[in-house]
Amino acid sequence: MTTSLTLPSACDFHLHVRQGEMMQMVTPKIVEGGVSVAYIMPNTVPPIKNTEQALEYKSQLEALAPQVTFYMTLYLSPELTVEEIRKAAAAGVAGVKSYPRGVTTNSDSGIESYEIYYPIFQAMEEVGMVLNLHGEIPSDPTNDICVMNAEERFLPQLEKIHKAFPKLKIVLEHATTKAAVDTVKRCGDTVGCSITVHHLQLIVDDWAGQPHHFCKPVAKYPHDRDALRDVVSSGHPRFFLGTDSAPHPCHTKETSKANAGVFTTPMVLPYLAKIFEEFGALDKLENFACHFGRQFYGLGPREGFVDQGVTLVKEDNVIVPEKYPVSATNESAGVVVPFLTGKNVGWKITKNFF
């Protein structure tokens, strides 16, 4: 039985750190989870739609977590131009994130049609930027579309964009279904897929009635979770870690209409060690969390970074905190309840990478 693991620091290729007091609480906790590279989502308020906004956001994050290498993204919207894509790429912005309108947090400015963005995609293909797709379509009862099949109904769009732009790197974000896994595997080497911590653990029964497990896309059926675990266990290099960790104050989760998001940032590698051990794939954890994402994106820690490695030790009674206060001085900001709150994950980081 494995009782300790030593890995390089992890790379999280899908992360939300929010703004204001929440950002100030969450961002320093990235390193606590053993993560040194963070790919940041642009669905802030207002969204990050241009290069200047992305670079300003990046500077705020670097001040809060200087050990972390941050890669920024732009929000796909009608304001985005080919000229802005070229400018962003020259400034080091790594990707553009697509949100279908209204499907998740701060997606009211999301898109309804992809064809109008083909000139943007062509420019991205030319300059080497990545298209990050939230792979769902909006619920539509008249067409039998809901949260349980919204991802699968989206997949023809992924294939259509890939066929039109075969050299454009595309990431299907936070896959939750066997259909998504199969589609990405069918695509060429320029299509990758991020998988979250929580989707490797949860099924629909785990979030129905449990708001702190509710996220978008929602966890699906047992056979879908099995497909995620199987592709990770197989060591497929185009499937990699993107936590989609998305903090919300408790009072916006425990309400009649819960915000979508699961918070995993402070314990990313301990969570993964627990889950990978449960389905017999501890030997696949390093590639999934530390290498495959970097290889697909062609991105890594900034120049001069020295990775001292992360050591995890298996111990009894490693209990996930019940809550994280958003602010040390403003009680009204509330608390964030983390994934598997109060549960024993059985693994802890005893030596971090810095």
Q: What positions carry a catalytic annotation?
A: 14, 16, 97, 134, 174, 244
- Residue found under tokens 């941050």: 70
- H or E stretch including 212? none
Cβ-Cβ contacts under 8 Å for 285 (sequence gap 6 or more) = 5, 7, 272, 273, 276
d(C-alpha 124, C-alpha 122), whole Å = 5
d(C-alpha 177, C-alpha 193), whole Å = 12
Whether residue 76 contacts residue 64, with contact meaning beta carbons closer than 8 Å, is answered with: no
Residues linked to residue 349 through DSSP beta bridges, in sequence order: 312
Cβ-Cβ contacts under 8 Å for 340 (sequence gap 6 or more) = 201, 271, 320
State how far the alpha carbon of 282 is from the alpha carbons of 31, 270, 289, 304, in Å. 21, 12, 11, 30
The candidate with the shortest Cα–Cα distance to 97, out of 62, 134, 126, is 134
Among left, alpha and beta (phi > 0; psi -120 to 50; other), residue 284 is: alpha
The candidate with the shortest Cα–Cα distance to 301, out of 101, 4, 9, is 9
| 167: its two tokens | 């050299």
Whether residue 352 contacts residue 31, with contact meaning beta carbons closer than 8 Å, is answered with: yes
DSSP labels, 32-69: GGTEEEEEE----SS---SHHHHHHHHHHHHHH-TTSE
